[in-house]
Amino acid sequence: MAEISIRDALNQALDEEMARDERVFVLGEEVGEYNGAYKVTRGLLDKYGAPRVLDTPIAELGFTGLAVGAATVGLRPVVEWMTFNFSLLALDQVVNNAAKMRHMSGGQLSVPIVFRGPNGPAEYLSSQHSQALQTLYVHVPGLKVASYATPYDAKGILKSAIRDDNPVVLLESELAYAWTGEVPDEEYTIPLGKADVKREGGEVTLITYSKPVRMVLEAAAELEKLGVDAEVIDLRSLRPLDEDAIYASVRKTNRAVVVDEAWPVASFGSHVAWLISRNCFDMLDAQVELVSSEDVPMPYNHRLELAAQPSVEKIVAAAKRVLYME
Amino acid sequence: MAERVLMTALSPTMEEGTIVNWNKSEGDAVAAGDLLCEVETDKATMDYESTQEGTLLKIVRGEGSSSRVGDTIAILGEEGEQIDSLVEESTASAQKPSPQAGPTESEREAKGTTPAAAPAAGPDAPAADDGARVKASPLARRIASERGIDLRRISGSGPSGRVVRADVESFSGEGAEDRAAAGSAVSGRGEDVTIPVSGKRAVIARRLAESKFSAPHYYLKSSVRMDAAVRARKELNAEIPQKAGFNAFLIKFAAEALKRHPRVNASWQGDHILQFGSIDIGLAVDLGNGLVTPIVRDCGNRGIVDIDHALRELVEKAGDGKLQPQEYTGATFTISNLGSFGIEEFTAIINPPGSAILAVGEIAKTPVVNDRDEIEVAQIMKMTLSCDHRVIDGAEGGRFLHELKRIVENPVRVLF
C-alpha cells in the first residue's frame, strides 16, 4: 500500500475512471492548463487532451448547466467547483435540473454527474469564502451527497460517485487535500451510503463527517485520557444516510454528540441529532448534543475564526455534558 | 431570559421541603454549583446547589416556608429584567390551596353563590401539576419501568436533578411498592394541639405502617449473659486509642451471626427473595424530632474499630441533619437499642428492605441459675428479633438468634 494525499487519491480516482470509461470528462475553472486550483486534476489535460479536460470561464451557472445537459444525453461529467461558495451561482442547475430530471421525465432521463470541490472553512477567507453549505444540497431529494476525510475513502467514494447514475455532490476540504493515508494498489470502490466506524468505543458516540473527522478523533483521544471510551462514526455519505450504523452505536453507548462544520440552524447536523432523538429515544441517557460552527458569518480575525468553528475543546465539553461529567 | 428555580427532590423520598435558610439574597449573582439555600427534607437538611446561573431576581418562598417538589422557589435571570408576570404566576401557585383543603366559607362567599360562577374557579382550580414531573432520561425511565421502580423515589445526579441510568441502577430502594402518603388532616379543637407533620415524620409514618401492615411480623426473645462481652470490650478498649462504643460491638456480633445465616440478610421482593451480598446494618438513632437509621456498610468484612469510626461519623452527621440519602437507605438488617432508657425489652418494627430487626434492652444485673444450679449475679441483656415471616421462618430466625446469643456470650466464637 502506498501512502498518498487526499489530493493524489482523488487524482488517481479521476485518472482511473477516465481511462476506464471514455464518457467521463472533467470541467471547471483552471482544471486544465493550471492543473486545478488545488492540483486535484494535475496531469489529466496532458494525458487525456482538451475535449476531456475542459477549462471553463468563470461562469458557474453556465458550465454547470452545460455539464447537466451533457449528463442528460449520456456523458458522465465531473464538475469541479473551485469552492462551494461559488456553487451558489449554479444552484438552480443542480436543484432544478440535475436533481429533478429523472422525476420530470418519468424515468426516461438520468443525470450521471459528479459535483465536487472544497466546502467549509479553510483559513483567513472571511465570511463569503468560508461557508459549509452541505445542508443546501442534502436538503434536496434527487441528489446524493457524500464526503471523505481520508485518502482511502476519497478514492473509493469518488470512483463510486462517477459510476453512479444519479447526481452526486462530493464535499471536500481545502485544508484536508494534503492529509495523507494508505491507499491500496489494487482497484477498489466504496459504496455510497455506508458509514465507517473510525474508532470503536462503548461510552459515547461521536458522529461526524468530512474534515471534522480528524478533530473528532483527537477529541476521542482526549476523552480517553479522562477515562472515556468514545466511538467515532464517520458518516461519509450524508444522503443516503447510514442510519443503521448510527443507531447501532447509540444503542450501545446511550449517548450521542453530533459534530458538524455547518451552521447549527436547520442543518444536516441538527437533522441527524433529531433522527437519534426520535429513533433511539428510549435508549438515550442524555440529551443529544450538537457541536457546530457558531451561528455567525465567519470572522476574518483568526482567533475569532477558530472560535467560530468546532474545536477539540468544544467536542470534549459536549461529550462530558452527555456523560454527566461536569 | 428569566427562569424559575424549582424545588427539586433532594432525597429519594422527598415530596416537600422546607427552606431553612437562604444563602443568597435578591440581587446576588448566582453561578451554577453555588449554594442557593438549605432545605429540610423528610430526613435531613440538604444543600440546594443551583444548576442555573444568573442574578437572583426574586425569592418566591422565604425562609421557613414549605414547597412541594416542582414549586417555584425563586426566579433567576439578568439584572433589571421584567419578571412581574413570572412572580405573579409563581406566587399564585404558591397560594394555590392544597387538594385536601376545600375553600373556606369566606372564599365561597367571595366567589358568589350563583351556580354559573362556581365552575369559573379559574386560576384557583388545582391545575395539572406539571412542575412535579420527575426529570429523567428516556433510558432511565425505561429501566425504572422495567424494574417497577418509582422514579420519584430516586434522586437524580444529572443536570437539574435529572435521573439517569446510573441513578436507577444504583438505587437500592425498598421493593417496588411506593405510595404517596395519604396525609390526613387532624383538625384542632379545644385545648388539643395540632402538630404539623414534618416531612421526616410523614416518611417515618408511611414506611413503618407499610412495613407493619405488609410484613407478617413475629418475635423471638432471648436473654444473653453479657459478662464476657463486657469484658471483651474492656480488653479491646485497653488496646486502642479511642474506645469503641457498645453499639459497634453489637453491629459486629450481628454481622458475624448474619454471615453464618445469610438467609436472614434478605428482602421480600414480591415475586422473589433477594439475598443481599453485603451486610449493611442500620442503627436506629433518635434525633429528638424523629428517627433515622444511618447504615454501616459491609459490616461482614470490617473490624469493630472500623465499624465504630464509621458509626461515630454517621451519628454525628445525623445529629447535624447532614446525612445523605445513600447513608440511610437500604439497610439489610437493623438494630434498635433502647437500653440507655432503662428499657428491659421491646419489639421493633422491621425496617425495609431488611427482613429482621434486633431490639436490644438494657444490661441489668440479674440473679441467674448457673451450670452448678447455684444462683449468681450476672449481667443480662434481653434481645428481641422481629422477623418477616415471608422471608424467615421461625426455625431459621431461631437458629440465627441462637448463634448471635452464643457469639455475644462467648465473643471468641467470631474466630470460629
Please give the share of chain B, as a percent, with pLDDT higher than 90: 38
Fold classification of B134-171 is Dihydrolipoamide Transferase (4.10.320)
Amino acid identity of B387?
A: C
| pLDDT top residue among A268 and B154 | A268
First vs last C-alpha separation in chain B: 68
Contact of B146 with chain A, judged by CB distance below 8 Å, is answered with: no
**Mean per-residue pLDDT for B231-236?**
90
Contact of B74 with chain A, judged by CB distance below 8 Å, is answered with: no
Of the candidates B139, B157, B166, the beta carbon closest to that of A282 is on B139
Q: What is the pLDDT of residue B128?
A: 38
Chain A residues whose CB is inside 8 A of the B159 CB are 324
Task: Report B:151-180 residues touching A (Cβ under 8 A).
Answer: 157-159, 164-166
**Mean residue pLDDT across chain A:** 97
Q: At residue B112, does pLDDT exceed 80?
A: no
Of the candidates A281, A284, A324, the beta carbon closest to that of B157 is on A324
Question: Do the Cβ atoms of B139 and A254 come within 8 Å?
Answer: yes
CATH class as words, domain B216-415: alpha beta
Q: How many Å apart are CA A187 and CA A163, to the nearest integer?
A: 14
Output the pTM of the full model: 0.54
Q: What is the pLDDT of residue A200?
A: 97
Shortest Cα distance from A273 to chain B (angstroms)?
15
The residue among B146, B165, B167 with the most chain A CBs within 10 A of its CB, best to mutate, is B165
Lowest mean pLDDT among B53-57, B86-90, B238-242, B322-326: B86-90
Residues of chain A with pLDDT under 70: none
Q: What is the pLDDT of residue A42?
A: 97
Q: What is the pLDDT of residue B91?
A: 66
Return the top range by mean pLDDT from A84-98, B88-102, B310-324: A84-98
Give domain limits for chain B. 3-95, 134-171, 216-415
Shortest Cα distance from B157 to chain A (angstroms)?
8
Residue with cell 461529550: A319
CATH class as words, domain A2-183: alpha beta
Q: At residue B105, does pLDDT exceed 70?
A: no
Q: At residue B400, does pLDDT exceed 60?
A: yes
**Mean residue pLDDT across chain B:** 82
| pLDDT top residue among B151 and A142 | A142
Contact of B138 with chain A, judged by CB distance below 8 Å, is answered with: yes
Q: What is the pLDDT of residue B180?
A: 36
Q: What is the pLDDT of residue A239?
A: 98
Of the candidates B139, B142, B158, the beta carbon closest to that of A324 is on B158
Question: Do the Cβ atoms of B164 and A286 come within 8 Å?
Answer: yes
Residue B193 neighbours by CB under 8 Å, 6+ apart:
none
The alpha carbons of chain A give a radius of gyration, in whole angstroms, of: 20
Cell triple for B304: 469493630
Q: What is the pLDDT of residue A284?
A: 94
Report, as residue numbers or ranges, the catalytic residues of A. 60, 129
Q: What is the pLDDT of residue A127?
A: 96
Q: What is the pLDDT of residue B228?
A: 92
Q: How many Å apart are CA B312 and CA B219, to the nearest integer?
A: 29
| pLDDT top residue among A172 and B270 | A172
Q: What is the pLDDT of residue B190?
A: 63
Task: Report B:217-256 residues touching A (Cβ under 8 A).
Answer: none
**Mean per-residue pLDDT for B79-97?**
67
Q: Look up the CATH architecture of domain A196-322.
A: 3-Layer(aba) Sandwich (3.40)
Question: Do the Cβ atoms of B138 and A324 come within 8 Å?
Answer: no
Shortest Cα distance from A286 to chain B (angstroms)?
6
The alpha carbon of residue B411 and the mean position of all alpha carbons in its chain are separated, in whole angstroms, by 32
Using DSSP bridges, classify how beta strands B16-22 and B273-275 pair: parallel, antiparallel or unpaired. unpaired
Fold classification of B3-95 is OB fold (Dihydrolipoamide Acetyltransferase, E2P) (2.40.50)
Shortest Cα distance from B6 to chain A (angstroms)?
20
Q: How confident is the model at residue B46 (pLDDT cuts 50, 70, 90)?
A: confident
Q: How confident is the model at residue B92 (pLDDT cuts 50, 70, 90)?
A: low
Q: What is the pLDDT of residue B132?
A: 61
H, E, C per residue of A16-84:
HHHHHCCCEEEEECCCCCCCCCCCCCCCHHHHHCHHHEEECCCCHHHHHHHHHHHHHCCCEEEEECCCH
Chain B residues whose CB is inside 8 A of the A281 CB are 138
Q: What is the pLDDT of residue B82?
A: 79
Of the candidates B138, B157, B159, the beta carbon closest to that of A284 is on B138
Shortest Cα distance from B63 to chain A (angstroms)?
30
Lowest mean pLDDT among A18-27, A239-248, B106-115, B241-250: B106-115
Q: What is the pLDDT of residue B176?
A: 38
Chain B residues whose CB is inside 8 A of the A284 CB are 137-139
**Mean per-residue pLDDT for B223-235?**
92
Return the top range by mean pLDDT from A61-70, B38-47, B174-183: A61-70
A245 near A253, Cβ under 8 Å? no
The residue among B146, B164, B167 with the most chain A CBs within 10 A of its CB, best to mutate, is B164
